[in-house]
Amino acid sequence: LHQRLKIEQPTTSANENMHKQPFVIGVAGGAASGKTTVCDMIIQQLHDQRVVLVNQDSFYHNLTSEELKRVHEYNFDHPDAFDTEKLLSYMDKLKHGQAVDIPNYDFKSYKNNVFPARRVNPSDVIILEGILVFHDPRVRELMNMKIFVDTDADVRLARRIRRDTVEKGRDIGTVLDQYSQFVKPAFDDFILPTKKYADIIIPRGGDNHIAVDLIVQHIRTKLGQHDLCKIYPNLYVIHSTFQI
Ligand code: ADP
Ligand code: C5P
């Protein structure tokens, strides 16, 4: 039995990729399930890392004047409501180390070009959050970790009523009509079926501190592996092959 050790240095491009590719986390779940709250908790715990948050809301299509006139008939919970091509191109730039200007979305005027746009610099961790971020396979493929925030429908509705009446200035009748006509059916048809793609399902959202702690630990482990390559840029890969 001869043991042959083959020592190989990674190619330059493989090495560069290891340095530059950020760790991408997708956070999906129903509206008002606590996605933003969970993301904020993760970001807070990773304060010593470069982390950026990208919201799928920023990629809502702008409405035509006809659609604006009949906005109560518009389905904001359907996958077609989002400009996924634009989201993909922005994520691609970020993944390859370029800064992007992410549009701000205004829920009151239904416009996604509220000035100024938010400058997002390339980072170690990118969190992509939104109701339908697991819907398109090309977006899912960008993600190194997928989290689904799972909160009961009655809790989501109660939070939504409070948020939309207080923060968005909508009347309760409009909120309830939108919920039964669009939000609930779209959750059942498009959002819930994407739960199967999740690596981690968080029950009770931001109340679940243990889940968030475990997620942060895992991210730190993954970032540590990246850091090893930064500390030892000439790290050699050793293959061991056996011959009889
Ligand atoms: P999403 O991003 O999924 O829409 P948010 O994190 O923005 O959800 O939460 C929706 C609303 O519910 C917000 O007004 C938020 O303050 C509230 N909320 C979120 N998590 C909790 C919680 N654990 N307890 C009480 N209120 C919460
Ligand atoms: O932040 P969250 O994930 O809750 O945002 C998604 C929700 O925002 C969707 O359920 C959609 O109905 C709602 N929305 C809205 N008005 C808009 C855009 C989105 O009520 N102009």
Q: What is the mean pLDDT of the chain?
A: 87
For 202, the token pair is 């968080």
The CATH code of the domain that includes 99 is 3.40.50.300
- Give the pLDDT confidence of 44-75 residue by residue, as tens digits: 999 999 999 999 999 999 999 999 999 999 99
E strand or H helix that includes residue 116: strand 111-120
Task: Tell me how far apart the alpha carbons of residues 54 and 56 are, in angstroms, rounded to a whole number.
Answer: 7
How many angstroms is it from 45 CA to the middle of ligand 1?
18
Is any atom of ligand 1 closer than 6 Å to the C-beta of 37?
yes
Whose atoms come closest to the Cα of 133: which ligand?
2
Predicted pLDDT at 109:
85
**Residue 73: domain span:** 2-243
Atom 6, ligand 1: residue with shortest CA distance:
34
Give yes or no for residue 103 CB within 6 A of ligand 1: no
Check: CB of residue 151 under 8 Å from CB of residue 34. yes
Q: Bridge partners of 128?
A: 26, 54
The reply to whether ligand 2 has any atom less than 6 angstroms from the CB of 74 is no
Structural domain total, the chain: 1
Amino acid (1-letter code) at residue 174: T
Rounded Cα distance, 207 and 69, in Å: 39
Ligand 1 atom nearest the C-alpha of 38 is 6
pLDDT-derived band at 233, boundaries 50, 70, 90: very low
Q: 59: which DSSP letter?
A: G
As a residue count, the chain comes to: 244
- How many angstroms separate the alpha carbon of residue 16 from the centre of ligand 1? 39
ipTM over 0.90: yes
